[in-house]
Amino acid sequence: MSNIPNDFVPLIEHLTKWTKELEFSVYQIRESLFALQDKVKFYAGIIEDIHNHKIDTTFLSDITEAKYEDNILTILIYDVPPVYKVATQSDALKWKEMMYNALSKLPEKPYFEKAHIVFEFYVPHSVSIKADTDNRMLKTLIDALVMHGVIPGDTMYHMSFSCFGYPIDNMYCKTLIKVTYPDNIHRVITGRPDPEVANKIPVE
């Protein structure tokens, strides 16, 4: 590697600076997107009330899945929580909304006096090299489970959790959340990706 010319160094420095700025811009765009989605839904609601004309305002982040079978609550969201250092209030509100949307699809929400929660993050190969598993905005998701009465609290007496990250070929990021009783933990921790989840595409 010693044959790299000296004039190549400032080029890489400039490219690194530009990449960092682009990365930051992505998070700014994301925050603006959430705000725009809220405005679109607001005005679409007014149009429906006044003109009796319904506009489909279902966005990718609105598509969630939830089921409760064999003492296991499973929630699927087509996104991955941001890391804490860049998470905004808009992110927190959006994730609380997505958790609410998912849990609202259940005929009756389950209750776990003590639970183990498994978070599985499915991230495209192209970004997985920088996709941290351990410092994501998980407390917001756990707090949502408390707020909706799935678990009584987030103390060590009521819950424990584990996280797994899986690179996938599918372009759609996904978060799979599994909640069950501690003695059922062997059924929710597999240590390998679920092929069905990895290959899923968002369809309402």
Residues 51 and 67 in one domain: no
Separation CA 198–CA 195 (nearest Å):
5
Residues 72 and 140 in one domain: yes
Residues 26 and 101 in one domain: no
DSSP, collapsed to helix, strand or coil, labels residue 108 as coil
Residues 108 and 193 in one domain: yes
pLDDT at 129: 47
Separation CA 124–CA 129 (nearest Å):
9
Residues 47 and 66 in one domain: no
The residue ranges of the chain whose pLDDT is under 70 are: 1-2, 83-88, 126-136, 204
Indicate the number of domains in the chain: 2
CB 102 within 8 A of CB 75: yes
Residues contacting 14, CB < 8 A, separation 6+:
none
User: To the nearest whole number, what is the mean pLDDT of the chain?
Assistant: 85
Separation CA 130–CA 23 (nearest Å):
11
pLDDT at 128: 45
Q: Looking at 17, 37, 57, which one is the last position of a domain? A: 57
Separation CA 56–CA 106 (nearest Å):
22
Give the total residue count for the chain. 204
Phi, psi of 110 (to 5 degrees): -75, 165
pLDDT at 204: 62
Asked whether residue 38 is assigned to any structural domain, the reply reads yes
Structural tokens at position 194? 């679920």
Residues 49 and 101 in one domain: no
Q: Looking at 34, 57, 80, which one is the last position of a domain? A: 57
Residues 90 and 157 in one domain: yes
Q: Which domain CATH number covers 102?
A: 3.30.1330.70
CA distances from residue 92 to 86, 95, 104, 123, 141 in whole angstroms, order as listed: 11, 5, 18, 20, 9
Please write the tens of the pLDDT for every residue from 45-64.
Answer: 999 999 999 988 887 778 89
Asked whether residue 143 is assigned to any structural domain, the reply reads yes
CA distances from residue 62 to 92, 94, 145 in whole angstroms, order as listed: 15, 10, 18
CA distances from residue 60 to 33, 91, 148, 174, 178 in whole angstroms, order as listed: 12, 15, 23, 11, 21
Range of the domain at 12: 1-57
DSSP, collapsed to helix, strand or coil, labels residue 163 as strand
Please write the tens of the pLDDT for every residue from 96-126.
Answer: 888 999 999 999 999 999 999 999 999 887 6
Residues contacting 64, CB < 8 A, separation 6+:
75, 76, 77, 78, 98, 101, 102, 105
